[in-house]
């Protein structure tokens, strides 16, 4: 195999699919997505909790979310796909003065940027989600535009629409090298042969550092395991149960198949590709869940899984051309937010590749930031 493409995207998760679709929509030319797995969306995208929110601490993440939420809302019609964005809202609960102060400042920023969040008292939180133990809660924020979606459905939506526009998805095709002459890319090498191209997108999720390494670039995107546990159906979970994020404990939980999905980011987890389920990690999630929702005591555990975050030092994505090779673009490092930011990431990456002005300023996500100052800590909650 030695075919020529106008662009080769490495990675067939939701990010690679979204970038491919937005390029095809702009008639970019011959587009290939290479995916080493037998299936698309089978890596981090398949492990995702499905959370979609605009309540972030940094402006750039809020902007990524606002554009993405608009696109999620019209995705079914725009892409002729069966998807559901269940806008049950995200509720953040705050349990100390420091958190309240931080969120008060963020709340002002959200209002300025157009996030329709509300500030809630303890009583308002109790009436919104009666099963919550609110004894230690001081206040909270809630945005009804946030919610949950099925990452598989949205990935397939992008893939289907991209295919209809002529994008080739090459499965079981692992990229093993990128060739260049000077600062110009000439091809992507795979186990199935060479794909001639002058432009490459690194959308390899937790493997993004390896892809950058093909060109001798040290991209600080590392895989870190995160675990999730789900329960069997629970009679106290209503259709409108929102995503609840407990800022103090780091627990997050949302309704899932009649029960609950619960997760938490153990900040002590070492980086690495291990995805095995650690029973102690699962127990810690459940203990945090019980503290916030005592009725979980009777819950039957359905399943647990581990998956990889593709994390950067400042927990923000890396989007843009590498300094060393102007036609080698990164779109990765979403640090737990790659599903919810896929629509905006696909749009702005396609704009960059086409040499257009981006929909909004994405310079804070530039790969170049790692050689200088970094963004503030975003935190690792979903
Ligand atoms: C437990 C968990 C919960 C999460 N919850 C949320 C959430 O609620 N909301 C949210 O927005 N995000 C969440 N995320 C994060 C989200 O899942 C990821 O940010 C997102 O899926 C990243 O998509 P991607 O396409 O970049 O990566 P991936 O889905 O990992 O896709 C990358 C693809 O590249 C392929 N690849 C790698 N190397 C090569 C190679 N050499 N050649 C060819 N192909 C290659 C891989 O096989 C893979 O399919 C969660 C993640 C985890 C693990």
- pLDDT reported for residue 2: 78
311 DSSP β-pair partners:
222
The CATH H-level (homologous superfamily) assignment of domain 2-47+152-221+314-371 is FAD/NAD(P)-binding domain (3.50.50.60)
Ligand 1: does its nearest atom lie under 6 Å from the Cβ of 333?
Answer: no
3-class secondary structure per residue, 223-261: EEEEEEEEECCCCCCCCCCCEEEECCCCCEEEEECCEEE
pLDDT band at 370 (very low <50, low <70, confident <90, very high): confident
Ligand 1: does its nearest atom lie under 6 Å from the Cβ of 340?
Answer: yes
171-198 pLDDT, tens digit per residue, is 999 999 999 999 999 999 999 999 999 9
| Ligand 1 binding pocket mutation candidate from 32, 37, 43 (most atoms within 8 A of CB) | 43
Q: Which two tokens stand for residue 154?
A: 């949205």
67-126 pLDDT, tens digit per residue, is 999 999 999 999 999 999 999 999 999 999 999 999 999 999 999 999 999 999 999 999
Question: How much distance in Å is there from the Cα of 125 to the middle of ligand 1?
Answer: 33
Report the pLDDT averaged over residues 191-214: 97
Hunting for tokens 């999620």 — which residue is that? 72
In angstroms, rounded to a whole number, what is the distance separating the alpha carbons of residues 235 and 237? 6
| Ligand 1 binding pocket mutation candidate from 158, 170, 339 (most atoms within 8 A of CB) | 339
**7-10 and 31-34 as β-strands: parallel, antiparallel, unpaired?**
parallel
Report the pLDDT averaged over residues 22-47: 98
- pLDDT reported for residue 382: 40
CB atoms within 10 A of CB 23: 26
Q: Which residue has the CA at smallest separation from atom 9 of ligand 1?
A: 51
Kindly tell me the sign of the dihedral angle through the C-alpha atoms of 48, 102, 105, 58: negative
The atom number, within ligand 1, closest to the CA of 16 reads 25
In angstroms, rounded to a whole number, what is the distance separating the alpha carbons of residues 92 and 277? 27
- pLDDT reported for residue 363: 96
Q: What percent of the chain has pLDDT over 90?
A: 95
HSE (CB half, 13 Å, CA atoms) of 175?
31
Reduce the DSSP state of residue 102 to 3 states and report it. helix
- What does CATH list as the number for 87-144+222-311? 3.30.9.10
CA nearest to 125, candidates 89, 86, 85? 89
Ligand 1: does its nearest atom lie under 6 Å from the Cβ of 265?
Answer: no
- pLDDT reported for residue 1: 57
Residue 149 has pLDDT above 90, yes or no: yes
Question: How much distance in Å is there from the Cα of 155 to the middle of ligand 1?
Answer: 11
pLDDT band at 374 (very low <50, low <70, confident <90, very high): very low
Judge if pTM exceeds 0.85: yes
Ligand 1: does its nearest atom lie under 6 Å from the Cβ of 226?
Answer: yes
Bigger pLDDT: 375 vs 51: 51
Q: Mean pLDDT in the chain?
A: 95
CA nearest to 140, candidates 154, 156, 128, 155? 128
271-317 pLDDT, tens digit per residue, is 999 999 999 999 999 999 999 999 999 999 999 999 999 999 999 99
In sequence order, which residues have a C-beta less than 8 Å from that of residue 119 and are 6 or more positions away? 107, 139, 140, 141
Ligand 1: does its nearest atom lie under 6 Å from the Cβ of 228?
Answer: yes
> What are the extents of the domains in the chain?
2-47+152-221+314-371, 87-144+222-311
CA of 195: how far to CAs of 189, 204, 325, 353, in Å? 6, 17, 18, 19
Residue 379 has pLDDT above 90, yes or no: no
Residue 375 has pLDDT above 60, yes or no: no
Report the pLDDT averaged over residues 198-217: 98
The atom number, within ligand 1, closest to the CA of 225 reads 53
Question: How much distance in Å is there from the Cα of 27 to the middle of ligand 1?
Answer: 26
The atom number, within ligand 1, closest to the CA of 11 reads 34
310-329 pLDDT, tens digit per residue, is 999 999 999 999 989 999 99
Reduce the DSSP state of residue 353 to 3 states and report it. helix
202 DSSP β-pair partners:
10, 330
CA of 16: how far to CAs of 8, 132, 177, 338, in Å? 10, 38, 18, 11
- pLDDT reported for residue 378: 47
Question: How much distance in Å is there from the Cα of 51 to the middle of ligand 1?
Answer: 14
Residue 381 has pLDDT above 50, yes or no: no
In angstroms, rounded to a whole number, what is the distance separating the alpha carbons of residues 260 and 114? 30
């Amino acid at each position: 195999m030695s075919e020529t493409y106008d662009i080769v995207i490495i990675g067939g998760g939701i990010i690679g699919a979204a970038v491919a679709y937005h390029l095809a929509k702009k008639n970019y030319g011959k587009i290939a997505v290479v995916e080493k797995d037998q299936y698309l969306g089978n890596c981090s995208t398949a492990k995702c909790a499905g959370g979609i929110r605009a309540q972030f601490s940094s402006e750039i993440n809020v902007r990524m979310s606002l554009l993405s939420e608009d696109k999620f809302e019209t995705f079914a019609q725009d892409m002729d796909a069966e998807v559901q964005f269940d806008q049950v809202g995200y509720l953040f609960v705050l349990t100390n003065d420091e958190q309240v102060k931080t969120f008060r400042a963020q709340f002002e920023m959200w209002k300025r940027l157009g996030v329709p969040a509300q500030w809630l008292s303890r009583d308002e939180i109790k009436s919104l989600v009666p099963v919550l133990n609110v004894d230690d809660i001081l206040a909270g924020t809630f945005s009804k535009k946030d919610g949950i979606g099925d990452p598989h459905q949205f990935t397939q939506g992008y893939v289907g629409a991209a295919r209809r526009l002529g994008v080739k998805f090459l499965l079981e095709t692992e990229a093993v090298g990128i060739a260049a002459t000077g600062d110009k890319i000439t091809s992507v090498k795979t186990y199935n042969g060479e794909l001639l191209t002058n432009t490459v997108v690194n959308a390899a999720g937790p493997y993004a550092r390896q892809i950058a390494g093909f060109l001798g670039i040290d991209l600080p995107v590392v895989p870190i395991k995160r675990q999730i546990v789900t329960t069997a159906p629970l009679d106290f979970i209503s259709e409108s149960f929102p995503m609840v994020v407990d800022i103090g404990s780091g627990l997050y939980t949302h309704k899932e198949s009649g029960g609950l999905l619960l997760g938490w980011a153990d900040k002590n987890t070492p980086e690495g590709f291990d995805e095995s389920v650690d029973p102690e990690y699962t127990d810690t999630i459940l203990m945090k869940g019980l503290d916030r929702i005592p009725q979980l005591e009777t819950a039957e555990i359905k399943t647990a899984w581990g998956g990889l975050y593709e994390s950067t030092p400042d927990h923000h994505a890396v989007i843009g051309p590498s300094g060393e090779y102007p036609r080698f673009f990164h779109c990765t490092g979403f640090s737990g937010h790659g599903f919810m930011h896929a629509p905006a990431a696909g749009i702005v990456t396609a704009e960059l590749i086409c040499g257009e002005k981006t929909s909004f300023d994405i310079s804070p996500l530039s790969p170049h930031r790692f050689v200088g100052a970094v963004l503030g800590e975003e935190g690792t909650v979903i």
